[in-house]
Structure 1
């Protein structure tokens, strides 16, 4: 009886050993396969502190002396198109130092009159700010300008690049000044902008503009020191024909102040490229304006 029990026990022990050994073999094979897959499919990023001559992306091995950070999939960086506001601010940043902060008076002025700041042509001179504090500051800037005479009206001068572009358009089709007086239609003095402001507005209006509570006046007259006319990059015209608009657009002149129909701005960029700088096209009562997106 004891012998028979011993034989049964022995058989069970052998069976248990066989199952255990077989399980260990299966587990070992699976582990090896997983390790092989890891070395083939996964990449590692080696710390800057690692003393290794291998490349940044390496296959993990047991002999590696550094502690890798394993990433199961590569990081893909996609080029995304910036929204118009960011494209515009990115374009004007080299010209403005610093770029005005949102919800400030300067930011309001940049929104209204800032389209010329996208021009990266070194021959076009732009101020490093959106508003001059006084006549002396304005004169100091204007003294640095290379000016050219406009072949229309009386004593009209602009920055040379702007004047040359207008003259080329005017050669295609005659484009008269709004009043014919260059001192008001073309480059202005600080005193002229102050006189125009006092004609249409007052100090109370200016305070409301500063607070962002009044912006409609900005399509009628610019606050003293902030007009594009001070930069030699704006002109007031009498445009009534599509051929005149087309000629101006072909030479970099656009209407950029909504509802200020006579006002034209020298942006100096081809119309097809204006959206690349974030400017947005808006049609108002048959007039096409190119406005800042901020």
Structure 2
């Protein structure tokens, strides 16, 4: 049966009206979904953090909906520990339980996991078990050369930031030139450990009976140097420290005077991310709140 022109017009109007309504519904759905995603990305509440901290079982993974490619600002209403954990939860999939060896290491060396520089890369754990595991991770890194050194390399963002600081001030490496001050292999980390400690000391560290040694040397597979985000320097003036701080480098391992960590934050933001400022024998350290 043939349709009249009038009926055709009415049908077309009905189709356009239905299409318009569907578009509006779709737009509303997209906006709601987008808002929900955004809300989950930025909303870090105390409830999941407290549940994570108070649970007696491992692993502790349900801290937040986390992404690693967007700038992050901790919720100022959280306490320092919660702000710190909410930041590292975006980088480290599993947060170790308090009292464990992994948690002890995170407390001492975990400052790197707060780093918000999108140019750096972090591992999925805070301990490497052997040389192969270390090499596999280091093979994925984009490295940069530290100017005026023989073979000192760091992750490129860290190297670039350090080079900027060294343009402002003369800041020599601890040894003066060597790669041992910069990114290290697992075996180099192990060699340094055996220089200052042994298996008996390591057993005490794992049991929580010894922590002072961690300010002198890192246990095998745990050094920030393995990540290409730490360097040992000879720093003796306020001007040198200021230049390093202005470029995201801070002392984060208590009593390890030559050790500097690339945190990638401004000094003004360290407290916001939970760091505690401690002045020990005239040196300012920014310590994790764990």
Q: TM-score category by the smaller chain?
A: 0.7 to 0.9
Tell me, yes or no, if structure 1 residue 143 matches structure 2 residue 139. Answer: yes
Gaps in structure 1 of 5+ consecutive residues: 1-78
Counterpart of 1:63 in structure 2 is none
Counterpart of 1:182 in structure 2 is 178
TM-score by length of 2: 0.73
Number of aligned residue pairs: give it: 216
Tell me, yes or no, if structure 1 residue 286 matches structure 2 residue 286. Answer: no
Out of 151, 160, 166, the residue aligned to residue 164 of structure 1 is 160
- Counterparts of 1:28-177 in structure 2, within 5 Å, are 81-177=77-173
TM-score by length of 1: 0.72
Q: In the TM superposition, what is the alpha-carbon distance from 1:226 to its structure 2 partner?
A: 0.3
Gaps in structure 2 of 5+ consecutive residues: 1-74
1:232-271 CA-partner distances (Å, limit 9, x unpaired):
0000000011110000000000000000000000000011
Counterpart of 2:211 in structure 1 is 215
Q: Distance in 2 between matches of 1:80 and 1:204?
A: 42
Compute the RMSD of aligned alpha carbons.
1.1
Larger Rg: 1
Question: Which runs of 4 or more aligned residues in structure 1 lie more than 3 Å from their structure 2 counterparts after TM superposition?
Answer: none
User: Matched residue of 1:238: which SS?
Assistant: coil
Q: Distance in 2 between matches of 1:170 and 1:121?
A: 20
Q: Distance in 1 between matches of 2:187 and 2:76?
A: 46
The answer on whether the counterparts of 1:154 and 1:180 sit within 8 Å (CA) in structure 2 is: no
Counterpart of 2:201 in structure 1 is 205
Counterpart of 1:18 in structure 2 is none
Q: Distance in 1 between matches of 2:152 and 2:129?
A: 24
CA distance 1:150–1:103, change in 2 (3 Å): same
The answer on whether the counterparts of 2:76 and 2:83 sit within 8 Å (CA) in structure 1 is: no
Q: Distance in 1 between matches of 2:117 and 2:76?
A: 26
Q: Distance in 2 between matches of 1:149 and 1:180?
A: 15
Q: Distance in 2 between matches of 1:286 and 1:271?
A: 17
Q: In the TM superposition, what is the alpha-carbon distance from 1:121 to its structure 2 partner?
A: 2.4
The answer on whether the counterparts of 1:152 and 1:177 sit within 8 Å (CA) in structure 2 is: no
User: Matched residue of 1:276: which SS?
Assistant: coil
Q: Distance in 1 between matches of 2:90 and 2:237?
A: 36
Q: In the TM superposition, what is the alpha-carbon distance from 1:97 to its structure 2 partner?
A: 1.6
Counterpart of 1:44 in structure 2 is none
